[in-house]
Structure 1
Amino acid sequence: MLAATLAEVHTTAKVGVAGVIGINPCEVAFRPVWTKLQETGVWCASPARLLGRVERLRFIRASLRDFRPDVIVAHSVIPAAYARVATKLTVAAIPVVTVMHAATNDDYAGGLLRLSERILKRDAAAVVTVTDTAAHNYRLRCGMPRRLLTIPNGTELERFAFDENARRRLRAEFEVDDSVSVVLQVGRLSPAKNQAASVLALKDMLHAGQSAELWLAGLTEDASYGDMLKRLVAQHRLSGNVRFLGSRPDVAALLGAADVYVMPSEREAHSVAMIEALASGVPIVASTIRVFEFATRFSGVATVDPASHRDYAAAITEVLAQGRIRHRRDLSAYSIAHVAERYAALFGDVTLRSRLDAGTALEGGK
């Protein structure tokens, strides 16, 4: 989503013409985003079917010939490896910027990936991390690249501003009374997102006499985990209090309709979902992982170890009593416009350096 939003912003702002190449077919849940990109004027390409490794290289190389970019931004380690190998097979030298997004903030923990990065590192014009922790881990695993910088993620803040009318409409659509506290969690159904902890916390809240619902929004990444969650809900007789919403295009409306937002994640990179929740003014309860420390600077945010579902439920109850934050949290550092400006400046730097290097090489050839 960050890559898609940046492409849209850069194209709309006429910073340049952006293109997005998917190395896998576009998933159904992502199709509306893909369509919007194309309507905005973003050049898009993705294969019609899953490709093997060699086929992927051929597809990327053909796409690069069609689009002819001045710089390639490879989001995550696998696309970065493919992009740098593909550029070696093209006539023109195209600078590659690698952006790392691993939820562990340790993208090259695996030995094979680490070896490939050490081999290909010199072909990266720059490496971007979304947290300082990820930057530290990259240096530890792979040494220092040509350029390393941290650019935190961002989002369209205004889109998530609280709207009372939208809140009432959605709660009426879901037939949720004002007396019911809605606990919202957004994220793919995966063990890393730890929705099971939210289910158990809801159980404790209901046993304490509170009237509450848990809304789980997000596509199912791990089918076995999704099935386990549904069994857990049934086991504790919570079927009338837990809604599995699937992938939703209206996250802003969901945040407005919710009374508290929860993120009991076991790991995250630099969560765009957290920034969206902060922008909405909803009270937040998150896990105590390091990446959420930035959010604790804002009012209405609590962190707790969700391993104790009783402590987790107590934290949710406490922020519910505080109510929605009515003043605007200052999130200007995480606006997509600010983030896009930083990326645009980086693209200008690496393309200029590429041209200077090419000029030096030609001069040396003479």
Structure 2
Amino acid sequence: MRIMHVVLTPRHSGAEMLAATLAEVHTSTQFGVVGVMGINPCEDAFGPVWAKLKEQGVWCASPDRLLGRVGRLHFIRSMLRDFLPDVIVAHSVIPAAYARLALKFTTSAVPVVTVMHAATNDDYAGGLLRLSERILKRDAAAVVTVTETAANNYRLRCGVPRRLLTIPNGTDLDRFAFDENARRRLRAEFEVDEGVSVVLQVGRLSPVKNQAASVLALKDMLRAGLSVELWLAGLTEDPSYGDALKRLVEQHGLSGKVRFLGSRPDVAALLCAADVYVMPSEREAHSVAMIEALANGVPIVASTIPVFEFALRFPGVVTVDPASHRDYAASITKVLSAAHGRHQRDLTQYSIAHVARRYAALFDEVTSRTRFGADTAREGVT
């Protein structure tokens, strides 16, 4: 089977990392020939991931420059002709719309699986997107959501598609397991003494990720006499918010205590170096970053949003409303003082192998349905 994943921009973000990891697994298990196509150019920080995929035999393609709407359609159409997929997996609403539109300019009847990733769990809340989905819905062989909330919202906004199912995200659990050597190496590289506690937050710099709450909590912890620093890893999605964060850091005299690490390919090592992982997000889908942190065993302090409730089943996870930075700081401090080290967590259901098997079963289903439809059409069956 030839499987084509389509993402908007190859970068360190949940949807893109899921596509890349699924491509790795399905290639290594010889389930099929796999490709990953970006509609926008690959971000430099994602280059190592892109290169690794190619080394493992994954077909990768993205344009050299940003394209307009018509240019995107031409590019996708050209790549589909080169790769000749049996199934297209479009991650998020924009790739889903472009992939289905591009197919209309070909003679192929390739099934398209749309995967919804919006942090709001309400991908089609916008009127224009909702209208486009209602028009294109019949061209989707299946719609996958990462939470049941997102599935319910899809039905509410767009009606019932041909196939709708929920497949929670997963990750390579072994890749994110705790490694003492990685911890020592990275802390030495950053010149962080073992007596200093590292608070890590991973996520794009955006108001929805709420890094400002972590900065304010750090201020409170330092005032209480803790030896601690904050690492913020993630691409800058909102430059104005990134600038505001840096001003907030300077305003409170925290410049030597906050590290803006940018987009990083070594999140697994960052998790090993950290003493606590924080997620004060205002909204999330089924966060891949949360699963990575759970796999590492690091203590976690997260916001009290419903999507994080699943994590409370595991040891070493605390939720708090970060709107009160004092309560947020107190929760982080309590976790640090507990000094439990790493926690053992059974995440089998969130392993990428398990998730990949569920996607493989879906791909078999939709391609079989397409083949049956073609056969019956040839036989004149109605």
- Contact 1:171–1:257, Cα closer than 8 Å, also in 2: yes
- Contact 1:283–1:301, Cα closer than 8 Å, also in 2: yes
1:363 — aligned with what?
379
Q: Distance in 1 between matches of 2:279 and 2:379?
A: 55
1:155 — aligned with what?
171
Say if 2:147 is the partner of 1:125: no
Letter in 2 for 1:266: E
Trace 1:44-83 onto structure 2 (pairs within 5 A).
44-83=60-99
Letter in 2 for 1:192: V
Q: Distance in 2 between matches of 1:349 and 1:112?
A: 31
What are the ranges of 5 or more consecutive residues in structure 1 without an aligned counterpart?
Answer: none
1:18 — aligned with what?
34
2:11 — aligned with what?
none
Letter in 2 for 1:93: A
Q: Which of 198, 205, 213 in structure 2 is aligned with 1:197?
A: 213
Q: Which of 143, 151, 154 in structure 2 is aligned with 1:138?
A: 154
1:244 — aligned with what?
260
Deviation, 1:351, is 0.2
Q: Distance in 2 between matches of 1:279 and 1:121?
A: 36
Q: Distance in 2 between matches of 1:327 and 1:232?
A: 33
Q: Which of 324, 342, 348 in structure 2 is aligned with 1:332?
A: 348
2:186 — aligned with what?
170
Say if 2:254 is the partner of 1:232: no
Q: Which of 273, 294, 300 in structure 2 is aligned with 1:278?
A: 294
Say if 2:309 is the partner of 1:293: yes
Which one is further off, 97-106 or 243-252? 243-252
Deviation, 1:330, is 0.5
TM-score scaled by structure 1? 0.98
Deviation, 1:12, is 1.4
2:224 — aligned with what?
208
- Contact 2:206–2:237, Cα closer than 8 Å, also in 1: yes
Deviation, 1:328, is 2.1
Deviation, 1:322, is 2.1
The ranges of structure 1 where at least 4 consecutive aligned residues each deviate by more than 6 angstroms after the TM superposition are none
TM-score scaled by structure 2? 0.94
Deviation, 1:56, is 1.0
2:8 — aligned with what?
none
Q: Distance in 1 between matches of 2:120 and 2:322?
A: 18
Q: Distance in 2 between matches of 1:322 and 1:17?
A: 48
SS of the counterpart of 1:97? Answer: strand
Q: Which of 311, 324, 338 in structure 1 is aligned with 2:327?
A: 311
CA deviations on 1:119-155 (whole Å, 9 max, x unpaired) are 1111110000001110010001011100000001111
SS of the counterpart of 1:161? Answer: coil
CA deviations on 1:155-207 (whole Å, 9 max, x unpaired) are 11011111122212221222212221110101111111110000000000111
Change (3 A) 1:324 1:165: farther
- Contact 1:37–1:44, Cα closer than 8 Å, also in 2: yes
SS of the counterpart of 2:363? Answer: helix
- Contact 2:124–2:157, Cα closer than 8 Å, also in 1: yes
Letter in 2 for 1:98: T
- Contact 1:160–1:280, Cα closer than 8 Å, also in 2: yes
Deviation, 1:324, is 4.1
Q: Distance in 2 between matches of 1:291 and 1:219?
A: 23
- Contact 1:75–1:99, Cα closer than 8 Å, also in 2: yes
- Contact 1:281–1:324, Cα closer than 8 Å, also in 2: no
SS of the counterpart of 2:60? Answer: strand
Say if 2:83 is the partner of 1:97: no
Deviation, 1:338, is 0.7
- Contact 2:299–2:342, Cα closer than 8 Å, also in 1: no
- Contact 2:296–2:342, Cα closer than 8 Å, also in 1: no
SS of the counterpart of 1:158? Answer: coil
